[in-house]
Amino acid sequence: MSRTPPLSFFTTAKALCGNKYERFRPFDPKVDYVGPAGSSLSKIIPQEIYGCNVRPAAWVHDCLYEIGGSENDREKADLIFHALMLQLIEDHKWSKWQLGVGRFAARYRATSYYEAVRVCGGACFAYKKPLK
């Protein structure tokens, strides 16, 4: 299994993130990006969904959270995270028996990751004070 995402992933991430993408730290396939950094939660949240590595999507999400902004920026970061997870799931080389049910279950799990970050991720986002 390759731990590095396909080039199409980075192209899509750059298109979705716009000029913020230039401020991202480099992707390291050995780093645990899934879950809150430094938290014991990050050790128990799987980095793969049914064999599909979602770590690259979490890396983009972490970078967007570090850049921060308004609540709208946070919502957009979460939506980008979800879209990138779904792309990774679609691009994953599923075995014949996993193609239907496995891929469907992976999409469902990706949506649960998205919902969890919408509910619990606010404490990790770098909110910027609005300009007056």
- Dist. CA 109–CA 94, nearest whole Å: 16
Q: How confident is the model at residue 98 (pLDDT cuts 50, 70, 90)?
A: confident
Higher pLDDT, residue 72 or 8: 72
- Of 29-43, 44-58, 61-75, 109-123, the range with the lowest mean pLDDT is 29-43
- Cα angle: 23, vertex 27, 29; to 5 degrees: 165
Model-level pTM?
0.89
pLDDT of residue 4: 64
Higher pLDDT, residue 132 or 37: 37
Residue 29, pLDDT > 70, answer yes
Residue 99, pLDDT > 90, answer no
Q: Which residue has the tokens 């509910």?
A: 119
Give the pair of three-digit tokens for residue 95.
């075995």
